[in-house]
Structure 1
Amino acid sequence: MSHAMQRATELALDETTVTALRAVLKQTADEVVQAIIDEVPSYANALSGRMGGTIRRAVRTALGHYLDLAGGTATGGDASDAAYELGRGEVRDGRSMDALLSAYRVGARVAWRGLAAGAVPAGLPAAEVAKFAELTFAYIDELSAASAAGHADELAARGLAHERHLEQLARDLLAGAGADVLLAAAHRAGWQAPTTLTVVLLPAFQARPAYRALDPSTLVLDDLPDATGVLLVPDADRAHLLRQLTNRNAVVGPARPWMRASASYARAVRARSLSADIRDTEEHLAELVLTADPDAYADLRARALAPLRALPASSARRLEETLRAWLLHHGRREEVAAALFVHPQTVRYRMGQLRDLFPDLTSAHRVLELTLAVGLRT
């Protein structure tokens, strides 16, 4: 039993007094609403028009239930249920509990003044007037608590729903969903689309801690397979982002238009599979390009380096290393020798062998193919 119900059983106003109080109920309800409009700025507009009529009926209902309590005839918690829903409604209307609690305080004062004015002429003894006052404020406390519970529950439900909408948006982005799906998901989540998104891969347990240091519009998932977490960072300053992730085991994909975030994700995933040491995919574009199609790269190497295959493996390996150094150092013999830790004459001898094997070694097309073929150490 609520505190107000307990006090009501001790009060039990007589029927004559309750009848006198009911006679002033409508006037008191109107006075309560007007006082709230005058004293609580948040309700100045909310209580006008149709909303005002709804609130007036609610106030009259609450006062009526209160008099039922005072007369000992109340049987249920209808008023508390209504107060609970009122608290939830405040969240939907974008207001905190402060305004509603202020309205309750104003309402209690005005209602007490109006009802007391009806109770005293009805001959209510002074001792009963004191109990009547206690009941009034116990009742308001009960309604306030019910509204606060409704407000908190609605906030929690909305927060959970919002979190789920944001997570679904992140999943749709990583899956490369179409524009219509992404726009609808962003709208449901109340998420303002940026110009670009940059995907960050990191261990799942690091995702939320890292997220707290980033733009609050960052999307986060920490339940992907293999204990992987993902951050989708809006309009990131790349250098700053990399500094923020210094102590994280993170790999940062490229910035892409927000609807193409899946491309950033795919590159980050590929970089992670290529090497656990990659942090910034932009610093490893050559490796990423050369490993984009392993079969094609294997075919390219086989065709471009076919002349070496007739040699013993050790000779083929030395000549391939020399060819790589020659291409990287643009044929500068001293630099090639230093890179290989051999004498320049050794470089000259080996290059003579390579020119015999590749008669068109200086042609642009052959240089391109060979550069790609020896671009990665195998």
Structure 2
Amino acid sequence: MKQPLRGVRSYRLPVEVVDPLRHGLADVSSRTIAAIIEEVPAYAEPFAGALGLKIARAVRAALGAFLDLVSQAGGRTGPETGAHPGTPMGAAVEAAYALGRGEARNGRSLDALLAAYRVGARVAWRELAAISVAAGQPSATIADFAELVFAYIDELSAASVAGHADELAASGRIRQRRLQELAQALAAGEPAHVVHGLAEQAEWTPPTTLTALLLPERAARWVIDLLDRRTLQLADAVPDLPGMSVLLVPDPQGGSRPTLTRLLTGHGVVIGPARPWVEANSSLDRAIRVHRIHPPAGGAVVDTEDHLAEVVITADPSALEDLRAWALAPLAGERGAAAAKLVETLRSWLLHHGRREDVAAELFVHPQTVRYRMARLRELYGDRLRDPQWVLALTIALAVPGS
């Protein structure tokens, strides 16, 4: 039956075993470093550069800490005390944890570091075992020693993995916060120098343009993974539209805009215009205005480019209301239902350039009904229906259905 690996924190070797190892520690460290450089290419450059001396010292310190740990003179650091920083094991684990964090900060994966641990364990064991054999140590002691070496490396590897994961998590949270700040600044229309600075802090590469999407939060969570990785998200960005999210999507223009529309179909989205990325708030403002005029129904996609006339006409609601009252003043004496039918007919007549059959088809009435109503409108307006200025005013006043 296989015996469990001995705990490196509690097992101790006699002084007569450890002393020869201490005398050979410098050579063992040098050979271990040389093997790592040769077998793990990712570490060749760091060892050759300014970090080389620091890494070499770290390797020697790790081996020295191991010998302190397994020496009876090294002080007790058993399981009951844990890896406290002041103990050999505690210091080694702390250093390994910091090494893992450093690898994450430098943008490297753990593959190279774990490979270096494996190479280091193999070479250090081979060299230390050779010293023990030369010193006449029995095979049982050397076998025990092998278990301790690999148990020690396992603990250091685990500490480095934890440090790497913690650094990635911390840096990921920091970057997400900075991306949120960037999105908020863009939505608020902050000055260019402010958003440039935030983009740099967030390590976000600016696109040429950004396009705002206004959509339900549940849809945003689904579609964002299908968009450019630089897409920024803001939840509850519009106070009077609760539950809506904003996505700022890089460069969905030209041929890619129809593709974006197809991708978003079924999610109830309003797509704003493409704008220079520092002016993304202009795209968002347009999307919000069109959403208020034409909220998507049944998961439809509403493209603001299809509603530019209505955006212009409704830009100043108060002025539009005044214009409407002035343009429709000749109908003031008409009764409610009759007046509504005359307004409906006048709007259609203007938009269809007086083509009676088209007006009748739109209103689902007989052409004779259109003729009757237009006769009444000519009585009320007189020659004003031939005046270009009056025709323009009436067209604007009645351009939006229901206005």
Category of TM-score, reference length = shorter chain: over 0.9
Residues 334 and 129 of structure 1: is their aligned pair in 2 closer, same or farther, counting only changes over 3 Å? Answer: closer
- SS of corresponding position for 2:50: helix
Report the counterpart of residue 373 of structure 1 in structure 2.
397
Task: Name the counterpart of 1:55.
Answer: 55
| Alpha-carbon distance between aligned partners in 1 of 2:6 and 2:192, rounded to the nearest angstrom | 57
1:208/1:220 contact within 8 Å kept: no
Task: Name the aligned partner's letter for residue 184 of structure 1.
Answer: G
Is structure 2 residue 245 aligned with structure 1 residue 232?
Answer: no
Mapped partners of 2:248, 2:44: distance in 1 = 42
2:70 & 2:170 partners in 1: Cα distance?
A: 35
Amino acid at match of 2:59: V
One of 359, 365, 378 as aligned partner of 2:383: 359
CA distance in 2, matches of 1:286, 1:49: 63
Deviation at 1:7, TM superposition (A): 3.8
Partner letter of residue 80 of structure 1? V
In the alignment, is the contact (CA less than 8 A) between 1:253 and 1:264 conserved in 2? yes
In the alignment, structure 2 segments of 5+ residues that lack a partner are: 78-86
Superposition deviation, residue 100 in structure 1: 0.4
Match 2:116 to one of 85, 88, 103: 103
Cα RMSD (Å) of the superposition?
Answer: 2.1
Partner SS state of residue 233, structure 1: strand
Q: What residue in structure 2 maps to residue 117 of structure 1?
A: 130
Write the distance in 2 (CA, Å) between the matches of 1:10 and 1:328. Answer: 94
2 CA distance for matches of 1:340 and 1:212?
45
The superposition leaves residues 8-38 of structure 1 with CA deviations (integer Å, 9 ceiling, x where unpaired) of 6433222x43222111111211111111111
Percent identity, aligned pairs only, is: 54
* CA–CA separation in structure 2 for the residues paired with 1:146 and 1:290: 65
1:30-84 Cα deviation digits (max 9, x unpaired): 1111111111010111111321100111111111100001213155210011000
Separation in structure 2 between the aligned mates of residue 85 and residue 257 of structure 1, nearest angstrom: 42
Question: Residue 222 in 1 paired to residue 235 in 2?
Answer: yes
TM-score by length of 2: 0.87
> C-alpha offsets along residues 105-158 of structure 1, whole Å, 9 cap, x if unaligned?
111111112222322233322211111111111111111111111111111111
Report what 1:149 is aligned to: 162
SS at match of 2:46: coil
Offset of residue 163 of structure 1: 1.7
**Paired residues of 1:208 and 1:222 also in contact (CA < 8 A):** no
Range that drifts further, 106-115 or 316-325: 316-325
Separation (CA, whole Å) in 1 of partners of 2:394 and 2:250: 40
CA distance, structure 1, for counterparts of residue 364 and residue 52 of structure 2? 90
CA gap 1:67/1:343 in 2 versus in 1, 3 angstroms: closer
Contact preservation (8 Å) 2:269, 2:296: no
Partner secondary structure for residue 14 of structure 2: coil
Other structure's SS at 2:332 match? helix
Q: Within 5 A, what are the aligned runs for 1:281-292?
A: 281-292=304-315
One-letter code aligned to 2:63: L
Residue 325 of structure 2: SS of its match in structure 1? helix
Q: Which amino acid aligns with 1:11?
A: R
- Secondary structure (helix, strand or coil) at the match of 1:310 reads coil
Q: Is residue 294 from structure 1 mapped to residue 313 from structure 2 by the alignment?
A: no
Matched pairs, number: 375
The equivalent of 1:87 in structure 2 is 100
Which residue type is aligned with residue 54 of structure 1? K
Choose 345-354 or 115-124, whichever is displaced more. Answer: 345-354
Answer yes or no: is 1:254 the counterpart of 2:277. Answer: no
CA distance in 1, matches of 2:20, 2:192: 66
Match of 1:11 in 2: 12
CA contact (8 A) 1:8 1:135 kept: no
SS of the aligned residue for 1:241 comes to helix
TM-superposed deviation, 1:240: 1.1
| Secondary structure, counterpart of 2:341 in structure 1 | helix
Mean Cα deviation higher: 228-237 or 97-106: 228-237
- 1:139 equivalent in structure 2: 152
Matching of residue 179 in structure 1 with residue 202 in structure 2: no
Q: 1 CA distance for matches of 2:278 and 2:49?
A: 43
Query: Does the Cα contact within 8 Å between 1:4 and 1:138 map onto a contact in 2?
Result: yes
Which position in structure 1 is the counterpart of 2:339? 316
Q: In 2, distance between residues paired with 1:51 and 1:316?
A: 86
* 1:325 matched to 2:341: no
Supply the distance in 1 between the matched residues of 2:147 and 2:368 (Cα, whole angstroms): 107
Counterpart contact for 1:11–1:131, Cα < 8 Å: no
Q: Give 1:268's aligned amino acid.
A: A
Relative to structure 1, is the Cα distance of residues 333 and 266 closer, same or farther in structure 2, using a 3 angstrom cutoff? Answer: same
* Alignment correspondent of 1:306: 329
Alpha-carbon distance in 2 for matches of 1:326, 1:320: 10
Q: Compute the displacement of 1:276 (Å).
A: 2.5
